[in-house]
Amino acid sequence: MLQQLEEHYNIAVAGLGLLGGSLAKILRKKYGNNINLWAFSREETLEKAKRFSLFDHYYLYDNIPKYLEKIDILFLCTPISVIIDLIEKIKSSLNYPLKKKLIISDIGSTKKTIMESAIGLSNYNITFIGGHPMTGSEFSGFDYSDPYIFENSIYVLTPYKDDLESKELKLLSSIIENIGAKVLVLDYELHDRLAAMISHLPQIIAVELVNLLDGEDDSEIGRTLAAGGFRDLTRIASSDFRIWKDIIDTNKDNIFNYIDKFIQKLEEAKNKINSNLIEEDFKRAKSVRDLIPKDTRGFISPIWELIVRVPDKPGVLYKISKILSDENINIKDISVVKIREHESGSIKLGFETKYDREKAYNLLTKNGIETIIRE
């Protein structure tokens, strides 16, 4: 455990966006004054962070090479292209090995390009271990950082093969587990292949499904009908391209491979529909999907949902929102499933965490509102 190490262990976070800020907050919460926290970021972000008295040291990005000798672990929490730039600046600043071991990790959503850029750091007494915390939010920036964002999420670590049994990997793993995440050690090329299939391909599919709807002559009517399953399926189409640009640029080959495979699957589906054989695909898909864990986050963050049965009368939505907001529970997604005029209907509520959903269920039920947990 980290508490057994030096009294003032030095951990640095470069990049104070959603994940960098969240990481710093949970590290401070878990380890208190047993660590010294270093912040490296842009000046305006550093000024925001200073208001929280979260860090012990505040520096601009350019100062990272200057303080490498003083840091024990450095987390690079910036976009992928900036992570690579920072690694190159660190490599170019070193003329001799550091006096003590330094661990550098990152939070990039693709790993191969980052891992290849970090080759050679071991010559300078630096152990680089790639990382990908599979969590997030539709919001970005330090203002939205949340110390509990890593709770029950899968946190992938991609060490080089020589570091699979290293004490540095064990140390980093113990820290990540202590902030509430579940460590999964993967080969970095395998990570990127899997990410292309279960994260990047769904993102492209969601975007193009929405654009397919928009291209239809009756798209306005289609949008009205899309309030159900189509809306759920394409939720991630609202993602900001600025987040996705680096991901797509650094994993194109894998994405192309799975686009081709998916096109082939669609062609096979056409033939099976024509031959009345598509039922077997439905059965197989259900059995496989039922095996997917429901209690952890993965490459695509889940929405934890409730169905609320309500009467059709003024003030119902306000009542529900007030009950939840009074307890500081954020509704991440909301949609009307069914309303019968002058009778009753159903509203679907989505929450960021399973804990929020359970709390919302208990509160709404306690207030006499019929509520069903949707798995």
How far is CA 366 from each of CA 307, 308, 315, 359, rounded to the nearest angstrom?
15, 13, 18, 11
Confidence of residue 2 (pLDDT cuts 50, 70, 90): very low
The per-residue pLDDT for 4 is: 47
Query: Rounded to the nearest 5°, which phi and psi values hold at 372?
Result: -125, 135
Percent share of the chain, pLDDT over 70: 91
155 with 186: CB under 8 angstroms?
no
End-to-end CA distance of the chain: 36
Distance, CA of 72 to CA of 157 (rounded, Å):
18
pLDDT exceeds cutoff 80 at 242: yes
Residue 326 sits in which domain range?
304-374
Structure tokens at 257: 């491979």
Domain-terminating residue out of 151, 186, 221: 186
Of the candidates 38, 39, 65, 75, the residue with the CA atom closest to the CA atom of residue 175: 75
Range with the poorest average pLDDT among 76-85, 90-99, 216-225, 276-285: 216-225
Residues 178 and 324 reside in one and the same domain:
no
Residues 241 and 331 reside in one and the same domain:
no
Give the count of domains, the chain.
Answer: 3
- Residue holding tokens 């050690």? 185
Beta sheet of 35-41, edge-to-edge order: 57-60, 35-41, 9-14, 73-76, 102-106, 126-133, 154-159, 182-185
CATH number, domain of 200, equals 1.10.3660.10
Distance, CA of 331 to CA of 211 (rounded, Å):
27
Range with the poorest average pLDDT among 4-13, 40-49, 88-97, 250-259: 4-13
Residues 285 and 308 reside in one and the same domain:
no
> Quick check: is 298 in a domain?
no
The per-residue pLDDT for 176 is: 96
Domain-terminating residue out of 131, 155, 186: 186
What pTM was estimated for this model as a whole? 0.79
Question: pLDDT digits over 137-175, tens only?
Answer: 767 788 888 898 898 889 999 999 999 999 999 999 999
CATH number, domain of 128, equals 3.40.50.720
Query: pLDDT averaged over the chain?
Result: 89
> Quick check: is 297 in a domain?
no
> Quick check: is 181 in a domain?
yes
pLDDT exceeds cutoff 60 at 68: yes
- Residue holding tokens 């990908």? 132
> Quick check: is 299 in a domain?
no
